[in-house]
Structure 1
Amino acid sequence: MSDIIQLLPDHVANQIAAGEVVQRPASVVKELLENAIDAGATNIKLLLKDAGKTLIQVIDDGKGMSVTDARMCFERHATSKIKKAEDLFNLGTKGFRGEALASIAAIAHVELKTKEEHQELGTCIKIEGSKVISQDVINTAKGTSIAVKNLFYNIPARRNFLKSDTVETRHIVDEFLRVVLAHPNIAFLLHHNNNEVYHLKSTNLRKRIVAVFGTKMNEKLVPIDEQTDILNITGFVAKPEFSKRKRGEQFFFVNDRFIKSSYLNHAVVNAFDGLLEQGTHPSYFLYLKVPNHTIDINIHPTKTEIKFDNEKALYAMLRATVKHSLGQYSIAPVLDFERDATLDTSYHQTKNTSSASVPKVLVDPDFNPFKEAKQSEIRFPFKREQKNEQWESLYTSVLTSDDKQEELFTENEDKVQKTFQIQRKYVMSLIKSGVVLIHQSLAHQRILYEEFLESITVKEANSQQLLFPVKISFSSQEIEMIYTIKTELENAGFSFDEFTKDSVTIKGIPVSVTESKITIILEELLSDINLEVPDTSFSHFDVMAKSFAKTLAIKTGTKLSEKEQEALVNDLFSCKEPNISPFGKSTFKTLTLNEIDNLFNS
Structure 2
Amino acid sequence: MSDIIKLLPDSVANQIAAGEVIQRPASVVKELVENAIDAGATTIQIVLKDAGRTLIQVIDNGKGMTPTDARLAFERHSTSKIAKAEDLFDLHTMGFRGEALASICAISQVELRTCAKGAQLGTKIVINASKCESQEPDVCPEGSNFMVKNIFFNVPARRKFLKSNQVELSNIVKEFEKLALVNHHVEFSLSNNENVLYKFGGSSFKQRISAIWGRSIDQQLIPLNIDTSLCKITGFISKPENARRRNYLQYFFVNGRYMRHPYFHKAIMSSYGQLIPDDEQPNYFLVFNVDPESIDVNIHPTKTEIKFENEMPIWQILAAAVKESLGRFIAVPTIDFDTEDAPDIPAYSTHTAVSAPSAGIDPSYNPFNPKGTGKGAHHDAYVPAFNDKAPTTDWETLFKNFEKNKQEGFDEFASQGVDAGTHLQPSSAAHILDSDVMQGSLLNVDISTTCIQLKGRYIVSPIKSGLMIVDQHRAHLKVLYEQYMENIDGKNVTSQSILFPDLLQLSAAQNAILCDLQPEMERIGFNLSKLSGNDWSINAVPAGIDHVDIKDTILQVIDAMESGGESITEKVYDHLALAVARSAALPYGKTLTPDEMDKLLSELLRLSNPNYTPDGKLVIKLITNEQIEKMF
Q: TM-score range by the shorter chain?
A: 0.7 to 0.9
Aligned to 2:573: 545
DSSP 3-state at the match of 1:26: helix
Q: Are residues 1:432 and 2:462 paired?
A: yes
How far did 1:409 drift?
A: 6.6
The amino acid across from 1:175 in the alignment is E
TM-score normalised by structure 1 residue count: 0.81
The amino acid across from 1:326 in the alignment is L
Aligned to 1:518: 550
How far did 1:324 drift?
A: 3.1
DSSP 3-state at the match of 1:71: helix
Aligned to 1:582: 614
The amino acid across from 1:579 in the alignment is N
Point out the more displaced range, 18-27 or 260-269. 18-27
Aligned to 1:282: 282
Q: 1-side partners of 2:532 and 2:341: how far apart?
A: 47
The amino acid across from 2:461 in the alignment is I
| Larger Rg over CA atoms | 2
Aligned to 2:32: 32
Do 2:169 and 2:512's aligned partners in 1 also have CA atoms closer than 8 Å? Answer: no
DSSP 3-state at the match of 1:272: helix
Q: Describe how 1:198-237 pairs up with structure 2 within 5 A.
A: 198-237=198-237
How far did 1:88 drift?
A: 0.7
Q: 2-side partners of 1:76 and 1:508: how far apart?
A: 55
Aligned to 1:420: 454
Q: 2-side partners of 1:530 and 1:396: how far apart?
A: 72
How far did 1:452 drift?
A: 4.2
Point out the more displaced range, 497-506 or 180-189. 497-506
How far did 1:568 drift?
A: 7.3
Deviations 1:312-331 (A, max 9, x none): 22222222322333333333
Q: 2-side partners of 1:323 and 1:361: how far apart?
A: 59
Aligned to 2:532: 500
The amino acid across from 1:561 in the alignment is K
Do 2:249 and 2:283's aligned partners in 1 also have CA atoms closer than 8 Å? Answer: yes
Q: Describe how 1:86-165 pairs up with structure 2 within 5 A.
A: 86-165=86-165
DSSP 3-state at the match of 1:562: coil
Q: 1-side partners of 2:332 and 2:387: how far apart?
A: 52
Q: 1-side partners of 2:274 and 2:522: how far apart?
A: 38
Q: 2-side partners of 1:236 and 1:438: how far apart?
A: 51
Aligned to 1:600: 631
The amino acid across from 1:243 in the alignment is A
Do 1:107 and 1:154's aligned partners in 2 also have CA atoms closer than 8 Å? Answer: yes
- Note closer, same or farther for the CA distance 1:495–1:156 as it changes in structure 2 (3 Å cut): closer
Q: 1-side partners of 2:602 and 2:41: how far apart?
A: 65
Q: Describe how 1:241-252 pairs up with structure 2 within 5 A.
A: 241-246=241-246, 249-252=249-252
Q: 1-side partners of 2:401 and 2:473: how far apart?
A: 35
Q: Are residues 1:79 and 2:107 paired?
A: no
Question: Aligned to 1:468, which of 487, 500, 509?
Answer: 500
How far did 1:139 drift?
A: 0.9
How far did 1:31 drift?
A: 1.0
How far did 1:428 drift?
A: 1.5
- Note closer, same or farther for the CA distance 1:61–1:572 as it changes in structure 2 (3 Å cut): farther
Aligned to 2:325: 325
How far did 1:573 drift?
A: 5.1
How far did 1:165 drift?
A: 2.9
Q: Are residues 1:296 and 2:296 paired?
A: yes
- Note closer, same or farther for the CA distance 1:166–1:346 as it changes in structure 2 (3 Å cut): closer
How far did 1:514 drift?
A: 4.7
How far did 1:67 drift?
A: 2.2
Deviations 1:129-152 (A, max 9, x none): 222222111111111011112223
Q: 1-side partners of 2:600 and 2:323: how far apart?
A: 43
- Note closer, same or farther for the CA distance 1:418–1:439 as it changes in structure 2 (3 Å cut): closer
Deviations 1:546-600 (A, max 9, x none): 32355562699975322499697677556564333324x1431322352551552
Do 1:111 and 1:146's aligned partners in 2 also have CA atoms closer than 8 Å? Answer: yes
DSSP 3-state at the match of 2:275: coil
Q: 1-side partners of 2:619 and 2:227: how far apart?
A: 56
- Note closer, same or farther for the CA distance 1:9–1:586 as it changes in structure 2 (3 Å cut): same
Point out the more displaced range, 553-562 or 181-190. 553-562
Q: Are residues 1:485 and 2:517 paired?
A: yes
Determine what percentage of the aligned residue pairs are the same residue.
Answer: 38
Q: 2-side partners of 1:396 and 1:257: how far apart?
A: 85
- Note closer, same or farther for the CA distance 1:163–1:344 as it changes in structure 2 (3 Å cut): closer
DSSP 3-state at the match of 1:432: strand
- Note closer, same or farther for the CA distance 1:444–1:172 as it changes in structure 2 (3 Å cut): farther
- Note closer, same or farther for the CA distance 1:46–1:599 as it changes in structure 2 (3 Å cut): farther
Q: 1-side partners of 2:346 and 2:321: how far apart?
A: 41
Q: 2-side partners of 1:525 and 1:589: how far apart?
A: 29
- Note closer, same or farther for the CA distance 1:5–1:54 as it changes in structure 2 (3 Å cut): same
Q: Are residues 1:561 and 2:590 paired?
A: yes
DSSP 3-state at the match of 1:97: coil
Q: Are residues 1:591 and 2:622 paired?
A: yes
Q: Are residues 1:458 and 2:487 paired?
A: no
Aligned to 2:406: none
TM-score normalised by structure 2 residue count: 0.77
Do 1:215 and 1:473's aligned partners in 2 also have CA atoms closer than 8 Å? Answer: no
Do 2:248 and 2:281's aligned partners in 1 also have CA atoms closer than 8 Å? Answer: no
Point out the more displaced range, 408-417 or 500-509. 408-417
Deviations 1:186-244 (A, max 9, x none): 12112222322222232222232232223433343333333333222222333444433
Aligned to 2:50: 50
Point out the more displaced range, 405-414 or 100-109. 405-414
The amino acid across from 1:311 in the alignment is E
Q: 2-side partners of 1:206 and 1:132: how far apart?
A: 44
Do 2:55 and 2:147's aligned partners in 1 also have CA atoms closer than 8 Å? Answer: yes
How far did 1:113 drift?
A: 0.9
Do 1:221 and 1:236's aligned partners in 2 also have CA atoms closer than 8 Å? Answer: yes
Q: 2-side partners of 1:399 and 1:334: how far apart?
A: 57
DSSP 3-state at the match of 2:549: helix
The amino acid across from 2:458 in the alignment is M
DSSP 3-state at the match of 2:279: coil
DSSP 3-state at the match of 1:580: coil
How far did 1:33 drift?
A: 0.9
Do 1:429 and 1:435's aligned partners in 2 also have CA atoms closer than 8 Å? Answer: no
How far did 1:61 drift?
A: 0.8
Deviations 1:261-282 (A, max 9, x none): 2212222222232233343333
Q: Which sections of structure 1, spanning at least 5 residues, go unmatched?
A: 336-342, 365-375, 378-392
Point out the more displaced range, 443-452 or 301-310. 443-452
- Note closer, same or farther for the CA distance 1:79–1:438 as it changes in structure 2 (3 Å cut): farther
DSSP 3-state at the match of 1:591: strand
DSSP 3-state at the match of 2:59: strand
Deviations 1:472-503 (A, max 9, x none): 21123323322322222223222235522121
The amino acid across from 2:460 in the alignment is L
Deviations 1:78-102 (A, max 9, x none): 1111111111122121011212212
DSSP 3-state at the match of 2:137: strand
The amino acid across from 1:525 in the alignment is V
The amino acid across from 1:428 in the alignment is Y
